[in-house]
Structure 1
Amino acid sequence: MEFDASVYPYASRRRTIFARKGMVCTGQPLAAQAGLRMLLQGGNAVDAALAAAICLTVVEPTSNGLGSDAFALVWTGGKLYGLNGSGPAPGLLNREKVLAAGYREMPQRGWLPVTVPGAVAAWAELHRRFGRLPFAKLFEPALEYAREGFPVSPTIRKLWKAAEGTFAPFQQDPAFAGLYDTFFPKGRAPEVGETVTLPDHARTLETLAQTEGEAFYRGELADRMDRFSRETGGCLRKEDLAAYQAEWVEPLHVDYRGYDVWEIPPNGHGITALMALNIMQGFQLEQRETVDSWHKQIEAMKLAFSDAQHYVADPRFMHTRVEDLLSPAYADQRRSLIGEQALLPHWGKPFSGGTVYLCAADGEGNMVSFIQSNFRGFGSGIVIPGTGIALNDRGNNFSLDPAMDNCLAPGKKPYHTIIPGFLTKDGQAVGPFGVMGGFMQPQGHLQVLLNTLDFHMNPQAALDAPRWQWIEGKKVEVEAQAGPEIIEGLRQRGHEIVVKEDRTSFGRGQIIWRREDGTLVGATEPRTDGTVAAY
């Protein structure tokens, strides 16, 4: 990995961090420290990642929770393993039910977009296969913060405050009572630095720790979810929960500039980043800050997204082979469509969502890329009373078009936006990376990787650099930190540019690279409250 760690071409309040024995990077400082505690107590990178992930359900509830899904890439023993912790639609949920409720597309809130949560099963499965410390120990930091309280950090307060308006129309709906009792007990979002306790969440965490997650799927917590779903019109049943298992999968990869870039396969849309990289492979990018460089990146991503939105689904229902989408010949065909002016692609309306990404590494060579998400902020808004279990809204990504591979059906997994990334070279780990944020995620992956592999930026500079985000059609949002000549040049090429001062929607990433001498090099996102915890 070639970069100069002393050079920072973009203003940043952070610097690349170096360490030898262990490192945890998250978007919330308390969660990073939770992971580091496990390393200092003899745990490995998997223990650290899990402790951080469990802690994030407490200290960053605006983006993930106990009802989330989770994906992971784990490097250990010279091999990369993939885990898909996403859940399917409940057995009682189908297209006809949604249409009968008056919807013409999947709703964002309430019971209809809730899928079987996979995060808890993913925690248990990762620990069973790769963990070292007792499972209950991984819960200790999260339990402390849930019981004793944690101060709300600035970015999380901003997201919490935004949720007030989002859920205001549902305040009198009995199905949303748990949301207000748990996360708005004072009738408002907490202020920056205000201490928040989550006693219901703490009791559930203790139960999960004692039962190694079993109570969530086949015990008292499953019974409570079933009961509340029946009482308030939901489709989720304890039979759906009991049937669920996280799934080990073979990661996908493409070669880019001599490095192998790895992603989780569909139903995740990590393939979008790989397709875009395949297209970019045919271009030689001399400098980052040129109109031509930004234009080509945007066009490649638009083409990749148009395919992903049309073809990606639960792999059991896909009619297009992944190998065909990632073939060099197909990339050549798509690349040939890129000219001097902005294209108008047929498929896709990307947006930014609520997710947490973290990565961890230890001194033994183990590395973890982990992502966990409700989807949109607090998810569906359904929180099981007395438990702190906030259920996801992942089913919102289903189509209701019967002609689409991703059309809603019972027991089917939806198109999924969370994507952990990993980089290797010549069969050796370089390290985990990720950029959270709904449909921004593959766009963030592409930009961070180009910054790293084409422009040789150090990890912090690769994260700091101004970003763009394709929204739909020719509409592209660009951070205000981008140069005015870039913004005007893109407009002249036909892009409909919206300049944004608020950087929150442009993704929040983390990186750990391992140098050939074993030194760990970490960076965290300036767009959130992140920390690199290391020793």
Structure 2
Amino acid sequence: MDTYPTRRSTVYGEAVVASSSPLAAAAAQEVLAEGGTAADAAVAAAMCLTVVEPTNNGIGGDLLALVWDGDRLHGLNASGRSPRAWTPEHFAQYQEMPRRGWDSVTVPGAVSGWRALSERFGRLEFARLGRDAVRHAEEGWRVGPIVAQDWARAAGILGEIEDFADTFMPGGRAPREGEKVVFADHAATLREILATGGESFYRGALAERIVAHAEAGGGLLGAQDLAEHEVEWCEPITASWAGHELCEIPPNSQGLAALVAIRILERLGVDPGAGADPDDAETVHLQVEAMRQALTILHGDIADPAWTRTEVEDILSDEAIDAMAARISRGRAADAVTEPPTAGGTVYLSVGDAHGMMVSLIQSNYYGFGSGLVVPGTGIALHDRGAGFVLTDGHPNQVAGGKRPLNTIIPGFLTRGGQPVCAYGVMGAPMQPQGHLQVMHRLLAGQSPQEALDAPRWFVEGDGELKLEVGWSDEVAAALEAKGHRVTRTGAGDRTYGGGQAVWRLPNGGYAGGSDPRKDGHAEAR
């Protein structure tokens, strides 16, 4: 029996998919049933999510993934770089990085990520993987309740942008829950991507349409920017806590923040496997304080590695962790972090197949639908990942040309002694490292994947505010306030806390899966 209120149960099977959309989970399971790998299934689900959850991702977004191939873990960074023509001088006109329009659009990497995963770890033909996505786009799909709410909210923000309204506001409004939506242009674009192995998007007909739209709108994204894009296979970075390793994509991803936080907690003697109750105010206080330290490092030092001042090894060194841990008081909350976190929108999915391959995949347009720009006649909603840069002179993450911005999306993976334990993640921009920490603690404390995702969450704002989700007791809130935390109790349905998925490998084979009740999806087994 799960401890926290939920609409779901933990799911068990020889192969498990957990996704924020039931349609995407079903697409992945169909691929597995046809002999596809976990990578094939993940790509099928990712393509499907661009159709059925356009509020948080799209063809014009970025993708990161961690893949356990049966022997070892691989990292994939399919995030794009800024246009080469971008300069600090060009952005001097702004007080902060724009979140809308062409000056927020970097090269989208998701399509290249689909192809890379298929080529390296797939078994089925790439063209097969988009079948369900194309079918839903052509024949129509029905909008879930949470997607409908997010869509209506986005329409209020982006509805005056012609690109957005033409594509995403049929009849002049956002679709309502249960209504059927057809994306004919999106379907045609997916067919083109599948037929060309993604080549058209970067060096073919689709690339030409993207560049033409940029030129028409005064954007600096050019043909060379798209043509030169490449994915990066990378070695995951890790840190240990309670006998387990948390694995993350290295910078430009923000995953390093989660590693810093768990290393601090280990140094403070917080042990999830030895009685550190994740629902106890003392534990929450130390989690929050460790995350404050990690976020300070994140906003000060993390960027595209070619521009960083500090190496990952230095940030995770014993000396650095000791210094951060020493700044934490067990009895008093610290000051605010140096820069406030920002909102965002993302999809995350986990897959484990019957042969032992596991995939942790995250895909995003950043701020909901992204920049508000949609390439005419294609359904390609372009992300606003450029908003991840800063304007501060000399900062390692200062906007420049040919550079990857600090990227909020982070897939997570747990191992124990180098062996796979769990593919998991929590979507939602600055919630992600905070969510990785909280869900990891709960999993290692013995909670099931579903319990760990059902449980209430906290969220640290950059100005010092500590938000508590519905479900935390009055006693915990009062105890945190007594330590100096500025606590805000948020209402039901607050989007601050993201949404997660988890697929846990069982000791004797098979998996247990959980899916976040804050989203429309579920875990599905076979």
Give the TM-score range, shorter chain.
over 0.9
State the secondary structure of the residue aligned to 1:438.
coil
Match of 2:193 in 1: 208
What is the CA–CA distance in structure 2 between the aligned matches of 1:196 and 1:162, rounded to whole Å? 17
Aligned positions, number: 519
- After superposition, the C-alpha distances for 1:180-211 in whole angstroms (9 at most, x for unaligned) are 11111211110100000000000000000100
Is the counterpart of residue 279 in structure 1 residue 273 in structure 2? no
What is the CA–CA distance in structure 2 between the aligned matches of 1:159 and 1:352, rounded to whole Å? 13
Q: Cα offset for 1:233?
A: 1.0
What is the CA–CA distance in structure 2 between the aligned matches of 1:47 and 1:234, rounded to whole Å? 35
State the secondary structure of the residue aligned to 1:433.
strand
What is the CA–CA distance in structure 2 between the aligned matches of 1:235 and 1:324, rounded to whole Å? 36
Q: Where in structure 2 are the equivalents of 1:166-181 lying within 5 Å?
A: 166-168=157-159, 171=160, 176-181=161-166
Is the counterpart of residue 435 in structure 1 residue 421 in structure 2? no
Is the counterpart of residue 82 in structure 1 residue 75 in structure 2? yes
What is the CA–CA distance in structure 2 between the aligned matches of 1:352 and 1:104, rounded to whole Å? 18
Match of 1:55 in 2: 48
Q: Which amino acid aligns with 2:405?
A: P
Is the counterpart of residue 152 in structure 1 residue 143 in structure 2? yes
Match of 1:239 among 221, 224, 227: 224
Q: Cα offset for 1:477?
A: 1.1
Q: Which moved more, 1:206-215 or 1:490-499?
A: 490-499
Q: Which amino acid aligns with 2:344?
A: G
Q: Which amino acid aligns with 1:202?
A: A
Match of 1:38 among 27, 31, 38: 31
Match of 2:440 among 449, 458, 473: 449
What is the CA–CA distance in structure 1 between the aligned matches of 2:310 and 2:171, rounded to whole Å? 50
Match of 2:342 in 1: 351
Contact 2:328 2:334 in 1 (8 A): yes
- After superposition, the C-alpha distances for 1:475-506 in whole angstroms (9 at most, x for unaligned) are 11111210011111111211111111124320
What is the CA–CA distance in structure 2 between the aligned matches of 1:165 and 1:314, rounded to whole Å? 33
What is the CA–CA distance in structure 1 between the aligned matches of 2:253 and 2:435, rounded to whole Å? 15
Q: Which amino acid aligns with 1:254?
A: A
Match of 1:319 in 2: 309
Q: Cα offset for 1:406?
A: 0.3
Q: Which amino acid aligns with 1:387?
A: T
Q: Which amino acid aligns with 1:508?
A: G
Q: Cα offset for 1:330?
A: 1.5
- After superposition, the C-alpha distances for 1:330-350 in whole angstroms (9 at most, x for unaligned) are 212111111111111442211
Match of 2:295 in 1: 305
State the secondary structure of the residue aligned to 1:186.
helix
Contact 1:178 1:386 in 2 (8 A): no
Q: Where in structure 2 are the equivalents of 1:369-448 lying within 5 Å?
A: 369-448=360-439
Q: Which amino acid aligns with 1:12?
A: T
- After superposition, the C-alpha distances for 1:202-228 in whole angstroms (9 at most, x for unaligned) are 000000010000000000000001111
Give unmatched runs, 5+ long, in structure 1.
1-6
What is the CA–CA distance in structure 2 between the aligned matches of 1:225 and 1:36, rounded to whole Å? 33
What is the CA–CA distance in structure 1 between the aligned matches of 2:170 and 2:86, rounded to whole Å? 31
Q: Which amino acid aligns with 1:220?
A: A
- After superposition, the C-alpha distances for 1:44-66 in whole angstroms (9 at most, x for unaligned) are 10000000000000000000001
Is the counterpart of residue 10 in structure 1 residue 1 in structure 2? no
State the secondary structure of the residue aligned to 2:41.
helix
Identical positions, percent: 45
Match of 1:189 in 2: 174
Match of 2:66 in 1: 73
Contact 2:20 2:348 in 1 (8 A): yes
Q: Which amino acid aligns with 1:94?
A: T
- After superposition, the C-alpha distances for 1:385-436 in whole angstroms (9 at most, x for unaligned) are 0000011101101011122000011001000100000011122111200000
Is the counterpart of residue 493 in structure 1 residue 486 in structure 2? no
State the secondary structure of the residue aligned to 2:89.
helix
Contact 1:89 1:395 in 2 (8 A): yes
Match of 1:531 in 2: 522
State the secondary structure of the residue aligned to 1:472.
coil
Q: Which amino acid aligns with 1:206?
A: R
Q: Which moved more, 1:337-346 or 1:223-232?
A: 337-346
State the secondary structure of the residue aligned to 1:261.
strand
Q: Which amino acid aligns with 1:392?
A: H
What is the CA–CA distance in structure 2 between the aligned matches of 1:450 and 1:429, rounded to whole Å? 17
What is the CA–CA distance in structure 2 between the aligned matches of 1:12 and 1:225, rounded to whole Å? 43
TM-score (normalizing by structure 2): 0.97
Contact 1:351 1:440 in 2 (8 A): no
Q: Which moved more, 1:327-336 or 1:392-401?
A: 327-336
State the secondary structure of the residue aligned to 2:306.
helix
Match of 1:142 in 2: 133
Contact 2:390 2:399 in 1 (8 A): yes
Q: Which moved more, 1:87-96 or 1:186-195?
A: 87-96
- After superposition, the C-alpha distances for 1:221-261 in whole angstroms (9 at most, x for unaligned) are 00001111001111111111000011111100011111111
What is the CA–CA distance in structure 1 between the aligned matches of 2:124 and 2:509, rounded to whole Å? 23
Contact 2:57 2:365 in 1 (8 A): yes
Q: Cα offset for 1:143?
A: 0.4
Q: Which amino acid aligns with 1:24?
A: V
Is the counterpart of residue 478 in structure 1 residue 478 in structure 2? no
Q: Cα offset for 1:373?
A: 0.2
What is the CA–CA distance in structure 2 between the aligned matches of 1:87 and 1:289, rounded to whole Å? 39
Q: Which amino acid aligns with 1:336?
A: A
Q: Cα offset for 1:178?
A: 2.4
Match of 2:206 in 1: 221
Q: Which amino acid aligns with 2:512?
A: V
What is the CA–CA distance in structure 1 between the aligned matches of 2:186 and 2:278, rounded to whole Å? 45
- After superposition, the C-alpha distances for 1:85-124 in whole angstroms (9 at most, x for unaligned) are 111110122221122xx31110111110100000001111
Q: Cα offset for 1:519?
A: 1.9
- After superposition, the C-alpha distances for 1:300-347 in whole angstroms (9 at most, x for unaligned) are 001100001100000011110100111122212111111111111442
Contact 1:352 1:507 in 2 (8 A): no
Q: Cα offset for 1:367?
A: 0.4
State the secondary structure of the residue aligned to 2:76.
strand
Contact 1:34 1:141 in 2 (8 A): yes
Q: Cα offset for 1:288?
A: 2.4
Q: Which amino acid aligns with 1:367?
A: M
What is the CA–CA distance in structure 2 between the aligned matches of 1:159 and 1:83, rounded to whole Å? 29
Give unmatched runs, 5+ long, in structure 2.
none
